[in-house]
Structure 1
Amino acid sequence: MLVKLAEAIGRLVLAGRELTRLAGFTARVTQLRQVLDELNQGKYERTMVAGAENLKGDGGKFIFQNNIIKFDKVPLITPNGDILIKEISFEIKSGMNVLVCGPNGAGKSSLFRVLGELWPLFGGELTKPPRGKLFYIPQRPYMTLGCLRDQLTYPHSGSEAIRRGTTDRQLEEHLHRVQLGYLLEREGGLDAIADWLDVLSGGEKQRIAMARLFYHKPQFAILDECTSAVSVDVEGSMYKYCREVGITLLTVSHRKSLWQHHEFVLHLDGRGGYTFHPIEDVTEQFGS
């Protein structure tokens, strides 16, 4: 009886720990849902810095138009009111590959968060393609649960891709374009299921993300250091294919090898200023 009593007390202690973890997860999910509801309603009053109480998240205007991204006097301001750039204006049309560079904290990621409507638009006019025609690839791409086919079609499921008319042959061609054709034999085909987060190396994950880009074929793609673990030759072939199929790229990278694949450069200086020029003008200016 004493032994069983001790075991029961131990189970109670462990159950208490699990309940504490569950309470933490529940609080996080509740907070996330509350913030998402506020975002959908255009409310951004929480955690505003001093002096930023009068900022309104719906102060700007979104215009949806194909084959163009245009910032017209758009301020780059974080949701809590920190002003990174007072006003930024530039225009990118289809076919104008743009390299975005600058020091850490200059606002490179903030620019794309505003563009993706993750952060509020506090002013100006932002013209962008309709939803679904702007694709974002981070430095560490998300690997979903499921088979290899699901990795290539994310956020679509493999079955949804088939309904849209995509064949396995096309997906296999995308794998070969990013030099991952060996995965078909190594893992056992497109239907193979594995823990892809652990199975794939960093470079393989980044190439899977590029294969996703080839599958979706958006008008514009934002590449955020997404080829940092990929060799220069593979990187070059992927950029050339994007140009062939008409995908316009906005690339955040410090690799000099990528300059040849872009026509314009957007430089954020980290002090609230920026420049937007053709690559030739910038190379002459900085003597590169």
Structure 2
Amino acid sequence: MGFVDNIIGKYIATVVGYLVVSRPFLNLSHPRHLTSSHGEVMEDYYQSGRMLVKMAEAIGRVVLAGRELTRLAGFTSRITELMNVLDDLNRGRYERSMVSASDKDKTAERNKLRPGSGTLIMQDHIIKFEHVPLVTPNGDILVEELNFEVKSGKNVLVCGPNGCGKSSLFRILGELWPLFGGRLTKPAARELFYIPQRPYMTLGTLRDQVIYPDSQEDMLTRGVTDSDLKATLEKVQLSYIVEREGGLDAVQDFMDVLSGGEKQRIAMARLFYHRPQFAILDECTSAVSVDVEGFMYEHCRQVGITLFTVSHRKSLWKHHEYYLHMDGRGGFEFLPITSDTVEFGS
């Protein structure tokens, strides 16, 4: 369909236009130019040709407008659906938009769980799940009851197959998803820091990449100077990037300028800048060498950042005290890591 639209809009309309314009010029007996000089004929041809080209472009835009209107209708529909879902969330209503026959069989079980029925307790230096079901807002039960406790200084390695609930666990920790029961003890949201595998690079200076989401005023309020930021970049072995990009005030499209490993190390520099009590590392060192990765984990321990790590690298087991393994069938294990610990989910 796009091929046909382009042929009509770009070529056929132009060919038809020039065919109409050429008739008086190809026919020497045409009355339009019987008394015209050569210059007048060329002037008439140029004016008529330009007008026909503009008309052909206008026809092409009309032909292609249908495709653009279809895209606009799709965007409008999705935005409307998103706004309706957000309104439902604000009212505490969670409902599937599409329900299959297999979903109907679980309706009775889902009705026992209500969003927001759990208890959330704010306490520093501890994360504790007590009989907390791991449930998506749609009602899918991933783990019936999650029970474990992590105190500051005890790193946890989270492992398991895809779809077992690793990301769901972190969404509940970040208060993006509601509690469907039990009791969750955790520090305030500002003391939890999440680093994804592909970190976001904001628009702005190199300084903004390190202090994101803080502004420069927030940085000064914290008492952090540019020298401190350079020292932080040096800890993740990115000191060369300051000189390469022209200083901390350099403005670039850092999403394209930086390599994958450099982006991940910038994200770790952000972690060292904010220094939260707990950090969630979701495969965030996959493009970083093992030696640099080990140094960053050791520095986290030195500054008192407790880590929840999602990774399949065997080299990371030595930096953690516990592992949380979810089997994807509703079961989980939370055990200390010992010298004979067997790696799951790899």
Q: Percent identity?
A: 70
Aligned length: 286
1:2 aligns with 2:52: yes
1:209 aligns with 2:267: yes
Work out which of the two has the higher radius of gyration on C-alpha atoms and give 1 or 2: 2
Unaligned runs of 5+ in 2: 1-50
Shift of 1:220: 0.3
1:250 aligns with 2:304: no
Unaligned runs of 5+ in 1: none
Q: Which amino acid aligns with 2:116?
A: D
Q: Which amino acid aligns with 1:114?
A: I
Shift of 1:158: 3.1
Please name the residue that 1:259 is paired with.
Answer: 317
Shift of 1:84: 1.1
Question: Distance in 2 between the 1:91 and 1:79 partners?
Answer: 24
Mapping 1:129-278, distance limit 5 Å: 129-278=187-336
* Partner SS state of residue 226, structure 1: coil
Please name the residue that 2:74 is paired with.
Answer: 24
Please name the residue that 1:65 is paired with.
Answer: 123
Give the TM-score normalised by structure 2: 0.77
Whose relative contact order is higher, 1 or 2, with alpha carbons under 8 Å and at least 6 apart? 1
Judge which range, 84-93 or 158-167, deviates more: 158-167
* Partner SS state of residue 286, structure 1: coil
Question: Distance in 2 between the 1:166 and 1:145 partners?
Answer: 21
Question: Distance in 1 between the 2:135 and 2:72 partners?
Answer: 35
- Structure 1 residues 155 and 110 mapped into 2: Cα distance closer, same or farther (>3 Å)? same
Shift of 1:86: 0.8
Question: Distance in 1 between the 2:312 and 2:287 partners?
Answer: 13
- Structure 1 residues 191 and 14 mapped into 2: Cα distance closer, same or farther (>3 Å)? farther
The structure 1 residue matched to 2:142, chosen from 67, 72, 84, is: 84
Could you tell me whether the CA contact under 8 Å between 1:134 and 1:218 is conserved in 2?
A: yes
Please name the residue that 2:95 is paired with.
Answer: 45
Question: Distance in 2 between the 1:182 and 1:269 partners?
Answer: 43
Higher helix content, 1 or 2: 2
- Structure 1 residues 81 and 189 mapped into 2: Cα distance closer, same or farther (>3 Å)? same
Give the aligned CA root-mean-square deviation in angstroms. Answer: 2.0
Could you tell me whether the CA contact under 8 Å between 1:44 and 1:56 is conserved in 2?
A: no
* Partner SS state of residue 179, structure 1: coil
* Partner SS state of residue 136, structure 1: strand
Shift of 1:18: 4.0
Question: Distance in 2 between the 1:144 and 1:287 partners?
Answer: 36
Q: Which amino acid aligns with 1:206?
A: Q
1:286 aligns with 2:286: no
Shift of 1:156: 1.6
Question: Distance in 2 between the 1:133 and 1:139 partners?
Answer: 20
Question: Distance in 2 between the 1:164 and 1:12 partners?
Answer: 56
Could you tell me whether the CA contact under 8 Å between 2:174 and 2:189 is conserved in 1?
A: no
Question: Distance in 2 between the 1:238 and 1:277 partners?
Answer: 24
- Structure 1 residues 34 and 147 mapped into 2: Cα distance closer, same or farther (>3 Å)? farther
- Cα distance per residue 1:73-128 (max 9 Å; x no partner): 11111221211111110001111111111122221111111111222211111111
